[in-house]
Amino acid sequence: MSSAPQLTKPTGWRAPSPLSVLDWQRRQELFTRSNLTQRMLETAVRGGHWTMMPLADEATTFTVTDFAARALMLTESDRLHEARTYSIGPNATGLAVAASSGSAPQEPISLNRPPRPSRLTLFTDPIGSDADTYRTTNGSSVEIHTPIVAVSWSLWDGSQDHVDGHAVTWLRQSSHGAIVPCRGEGHLDDVLRPAHQRNARC
């Protein structure tokens, strides 16, 4: 019999100085291309925790899961490479959190609203946290809170039809579980979570 989930405090966050954000971006890009990132994505895809699924149109030396993880890893790394960086101070962070307090923003986001097609923004103070529950070896549950300290986005229309030299078809899994192919309609791909949990739409 498992006990009730234990709550953990969000991990501390010390924001980098604005002058070091570019270096932070480069290190994050390198991490995104690491073996660890690929293994994390493989686990997520294998467990069905994905929104966007890239499938190779031809035979490859990779399994379906391995190819999907590699494609997600490379496209996320490209996003970071192309993004323009911004650092947001505590006053602006506080105003943003206060404005959304109590209810989620209702204003729709359109393609022409972002100040730049690709962007990476770091917040001096976290704007919230993402909670995941894990089962421990003794059968109990622990809830881990990961602070949300950055946001990035890019314009995405499903036209990224080649990854690592292989032709790709992108599938989307809806909140209702339906899986449909992505068409060439432009959308914002907004990232507050890892690549496999994106709010991409197509």
Report H helices in the chain.
21-32, 35-46, 64-82, 90-99
When pLDDT is cut at 50, 70 and 90, the band that residue 156 belongs to is: low
**Which pLDDT tens digit goes with each residue over 42-62?**
998 888 888 888 888 878 878
Question: What percentage of the chain reaches a pLDDT higher than 70?
Answer: 78
User: What per-residue confidence (pLDDT) applies to 159?
Assistant: 61
When pLDDT is cut at 50, 70 and 90, the band that residue 183 belongs to is: low
Q: Is the pLDDT of residue 80 over 90?
A: no
Using the 8-state DSSP alphabet, how is residue 105 labeled? Answer: -
Q: Is the pLDDT of residue 181 over 60?
A: yes
HEC profile of 129-172:
EEEEEEECCCCCEEEEEEECCEEEEEEECCCCCEECCEEEEEEE
Q: Is the pLDDT of residue 37 over 80?
A: yes
Taking the C-alpha atoms of residue 159 and residue 18, their distance in angstroms, rounded to an integer, is: 34
